[in-house]
Structure 1
Amino acid sequence: MLYSCMNNTKWSEIRQAMVNMTSPPLWKTTFLNGYESAVDGEWFYHFSEGGYSDIQYLDVLTNSVEQHVEVGAILRSIHVPGIMTSTGYRILGYADSASSVAYL
């Protein structure tokens, strides 16, 4: 069974923070039904299109050390559930009940 780790406010905070960056990172989402979006760089309209309720996780794809550090600081300030990956960060929208969820 999956449980929600995020809410619309937190997703909106991520969206707004990325929109405000000078050089926003790319992103892609995986949905509860298994669909994986294409990699996208447009945070203002595309990220919020369709709402957030079915996002299983969001991959934020950083392209430089500087961007990685900046995005990490932003995500920690928002205090979101997720992990650092080899390509950036994965933010969990849902997790299973057996998993331990860490917060950035």
Structure 2
Amino acid sequence: MKIPMNLVSVMNNTKWDELRLAMYELEPTPAWRTKCLENEYVTPWDCEWYYHFREGGYEITEWVEIRIESNDQKDCVLTELIRIHVPVEKITEGFRVYGYIWLGQPLEYAK
């Protein structure tokens, strides 16, 4: 797939795997869903990080949303996002980690 020129990759396979493994280790495991860059499909929520999350690779993942169910879970997820240093935005459901951003889109890291 050819990436549109107005999109910039901000993650790589190593960072996606760091995220995957960090979320897999949490108890309870937070739910996630991704948006496909190729067809804009947003997956249903899933809690299986070890196999499902990496299925098909990361090259067309525009973003992943991580759903938070409690303040304790929020603290644990945020701690891991800070540790692995990924581009993230707080959203109503929890957090959105970006794989690609649009040119000119502000980018922040968890803090």
Counterpart position of 2:8:
3
> Could you tell me how far 1:14 is from its partner in structure 2?
0.6
Find the partner of 2:95 among 72, 89, 92: 89
Could you tell me which runs of 5 or more consecutive residues in structure 1 were left unpaired when the two chains were aligned: none
**What is the alpha-carbon distance in structure 1 between the residues aligned to residue 31 and residue 100 of structure 2?**
21
- Number of residue pairs matched by the alignment: 104
1:59 is aligned to 65
Number of the residue aligned with 1:36: 42
Could you tell me which runs of 5 or more consecutive residues in structure 2 were left unpaired when the two chains were aligned.
Answer: 1-5
Quote the residue 1:78 is aligned against. 84
Q: TM-score, normalised by structure 2?
A: 0.91
Q: CA RMSD in A?
A: 0.7
CA deviation vs aligned residue, 1:11-51 (integer Å, no higher than 9, x gap) = 00011111111211000000102011111000010000000
The separation in 2 between residues aligned to 1:66 and 1:11, in whole angstroms, is 23
